[in-house]
Structure 1
């Protein structure tokens, strides 16, 4: 009987495991973290508690030259459910042109006509995707203020047009988080072999074929197929430790080269956010159980001539102070967002062991076009917060960047405050060119029996949150494997 190892029980891995076991494959699902027993995972109002927790890999970048030399925190889920156990559950398909662009650039078979039916199937099958929930009063006013600013109210941003302000579509049911682990893998746990709390060091490759995985303690587990679904940071790390990557980098670390694949860990990119924070005279109140701190967002084009929006601010019902000094007890945040980054970074190993943390360089804001777009989004958020629906009805007053920062100086604010939008992609890029890490069927080039199925294979990041595209990739990747 055919057997497979799936590494990572996050958005992609949980789906792959379910589809394979349903087809009669003997599946071992490996998760470096533990089970999702932390109550904060299940209550959307408590998501902020999960950063720096036991369920967070708690990655940091190297100092970012173009972002005031800061090391940016990159929360990633180390738990069943993966980052879908930590995130805001926002469901965005992206733009049709995103996927047509993938296909045009060599990801054959990944155009919109091929992926749209997969999104349809996911949303009508196991995973609840809904915007049928009451808006918090301040969130309703944020929508009104955005309309006063001149944006259209978009009732369904997943309906073909992103532009406008919308209520977020999320994966929730009855005020509780629902992720792909809960919807896909957990219901068939008795048909899976699930290994938790063990980190995979590398893939065992013998005579050009993947034969299993090796754990951090040297133990081995073997199967006919190996699928890496450890995410845009985890999957390339495992490939590199396996000797699959840039030969010169591997040799320098004393790692035997199994397959010279120069692009493993390259093409790293991410969406970015920058906060605009307001205090209010009318109380917003603390987060309520079962209610996410973010319920609305908008898509907007920062300049003329763009074919799709390049910004996506998120709106939070709390002041997101982060590392800023609090300037009040109550308020809200319009988190300016960049979703079409031009900057490209890389991920490399610092050593051959699991204790050697990866060197993650987003090259955040290295491209001036990214800085210009995110700064324009900040300026827009400032204008929205000053509209009557917020300034008059709530007594909203901007405290960050604050009146001391002129619009002409916003770029410096962005460099000092930009943070991740949690959407790293691209480090195991798929394509048909010789440099692609995986082919369009997600097979690792040069190694039989090994696939990467997660956000790392995206050639370019879609316009919007990456959870839905990662789920779509998982459904298609599992199908490719079963059809082979």
Structure 2
């Protein structure tokens, strides 16, 4: 009770201290009736993982499900639905815009480079990301399985990947793709033929064109592969987790979606080591609530906010919790540790001025582009801007590791320059997430620790990746006349200064916004959840989002999180299939019992009347 009162005071002050609160841009998803105080399942976070879980748990009327999300419904906003708008959405109010700490050990960032983007809407990061759909490499999951068991190897996860999607690639490759999933995939709405120049350049270096790297093999040649992305875009419109999994089922009587709802704490029956309820604050009505869960509470707040909530709730490193005066429920020192990300850098190359690339038709966002988009939802606005992707194996990748260690996004060649963005796929550096205070409105402290691995694997691999891109651009089709971003690409010292920055210039590297690993799945000393995604030592509490990954995957991370949501939901249903009773069935039995009592009373009274 007192925690709810305290939360009301804290958050009311926060509301009064700032004129900003959630702005409702789209139609409300709330019901007009009062919210029940108890549900079978409470899902915290309406991003990718939470949307999938809430859909699957509510598919049967057997269970009642509450989905709590701090953001609002923005599904039909043009800023969201138009695929090309992702670049303006990343720094917008649709993102949490958390900041990494100012004292990174290696890199020097200004405020713009410190920004860490993750979605704060129904749909989460799927409303602001680049819409690239990459499962990663099958070996990623086989490596997971070595730590957590065969349930998590690629062959056993493939059915869940297929369950997610309706893919046009199903017709050619039904073994690896789905045709009935909620999420609709496509090649996007803009396929300039000039992108084939990049394919030809890669093939000149014995890199194989892979038509479907979400299929049997992500990479075939020992040098790497090139191909075109599959996107979460359909008919020129972004496909979000909310639009695919939640909006179509909002009419389910047993599913309640409560947006503008800031979760502050999970409560426990300490004697039973069981999660029993959630404290949350309604950002619209400015009221504090406590809602109970009869079966389970599922945390799906992402790799920065899921560990924050566990720590606020008393689950984490005992020493750190004691410093903030948070009562310890479970000592799990791994909460917030093991933070991984794909650090990125960009490069710019000049093109021979005597033979610039022609501007591809329709590549400029002008009135003609808008007319085309409004007419048939195609063209540059219906795309993510870059569809060509290259996976590279550098000389630093072990011979017995068949995965790529660099991913490169290359823009369509045009004009007098070439541009590429490189991701480091398997970083050795590890960051961490800790609490700034006991106040749930304070963002967590995020330390990324980019390039901090003692053996310098990360910086050496990323430098080699850009040098390999230079080789690609030096082939005949690409007209490369020299690297432009700094003077000497072969100089390690100059290259590191470019990546690290210094007191006079900010680093030319930054987050790929692919945060994973902070509630690591496993059985080792820093594991937070077990292989069934249950928080260790606690009953009725799971984490289902990117934070459970033991190791980050080899590519954009949204596809793996959809899969984790599907598998996690199935685990919950399997584990609860034959145990206990649901809140829905309890209410039903209570209702039937009440009818019996009323019937008996009516019969008894009528008998008395007849006797008199």
Fold-level similarity (TM above 0.5): yes
- Contact 1:312–1:339 at 8 Å: present in 2 too? yes
Q: How many residues align?
A: 471
1:307 is the counterpart of 2:402 = yes
Q: Residue in 2 aligned with 1:189?
A: 250
The alignment status of 1:411 with 2:496, answered yes or no, reads yes
1:168: Cα distance to partner? Answer: 0.4
Matched, 1:122 2:122: no
Matched, 1:139 2:195: yes
Deviations 1:100-141 (Å, cap 9, x if unpaired)? Answer: 111111355211221112112222222122337542244333
CA contact (8 A) 2:189 2:382 kept: no
Q: 2:462 maps to what in 1?
A: 374
Give the match for residue 22 of structure 2.
Answer: none
The structure whose Rg is larger is 2
The alpha carbon displacement at 1:205 in A equals 1.4
Cα offset, 1:148, TM superposition: 3.0
| Match status 1:58 vs 2:74 | no
The TM-score, its normalising length taken from structure 2, stands at 0.73
154, 167, 181: which one pairs with 2:210? 154
SS at 1:146 equivalent? helix
Q: After superposition, where does 1:193-272 map in structure 2 within 5 Å?
A: 193-207=256-270, 208-216=273-281, 218-224=288-294, 225-272=296-343
Per-residue deviation, 1:399 = 6.5
Q: Which has the higher helix share?
A: 2
Instruction: Select the residue among 527, 531, 535 that pairs with 1:444.
Output: 535
Question: Who is 2:53 aligned against?
Answer: 16
Query: Which secondary structure state, in structure 2, belongs to the residue aligned with residue 97 of structure 1?
Result: helix
Deviates most, 466-475 or 207-216: 207-216
Distance 1:463 1:237 in 2: 26
CA-to-aligned-CA distance 1:366-385 (integer Å, 9 cap, x gap): 12101111111111222323
Aligned to 2:348: 277
State the superposition RMSD in angstroms. 2.2
1:468 to 559, 576, 579: 559
Q: Is the Cα–Cα contact under 8 Å of residues 519 and 547 in structure 2 kept in the other structure?
A: yes
Per-residue deviation at 1:193?
1.2
Structure 2 stretches lacking a partner, 5+ long:
1-37, 166-177, 220-224, 282-286, 366-379, 501-506, 576-612
The 1-side partners of 2:244 and 2:416 are apart by: 35
Given the two structures, how large is their TM-score scaled by the length of structure 1? 0.91
C-alpha separation between the residues in 2 aligned to 1:78 and 1:155? Answer: 34
CA contact (8 A) 1:130 1:169 kept: yes
Q: 1:43 to 1:459 in 2, by over 3 A?
A: same
Alpha-carbon distance between aligned partners in 1 of 2:187 and 2:439, rounded to the nearest angstrom: 44
The residue aligned with 1:326 is none
Shift of 1:404: 5.1
**Equivalent residue in structure 2 for 1:77, among 111, 114, 119:** 119
Q: Displacement of 1:23 after TM fit?
A: 2.3
Note the alpha carbon deviations across 1:332-379, whole angstroms, 9 max, x for none: 521011111111111000101123221111111112101111111111
Task: Give the match's secondary structure for 1:200.
Answer: strand
**Conservation of the 8 A alpha-carbon contact between 2:188 and 2:233:** no
Deviation at 1:51, TM superposition (A): 1.9
* Contact 2:188/2:382 (8 A) holds in 1: no
Q: Distance in 2 between matches of 1:330 and 1:240?
A: 51
Show structure 1 runs of 5+ residues with no match: 320-328
Q: Is the contact made by 1:277 and 1:398 (CA closer than 8 Å) also made in structure 2?
A: no
Instruction: Tell me what 2:375 maps to.
Output: none
> Whole-Å Cα distance in 2 between the matches of residues 74 and 158 of structure 1?
27
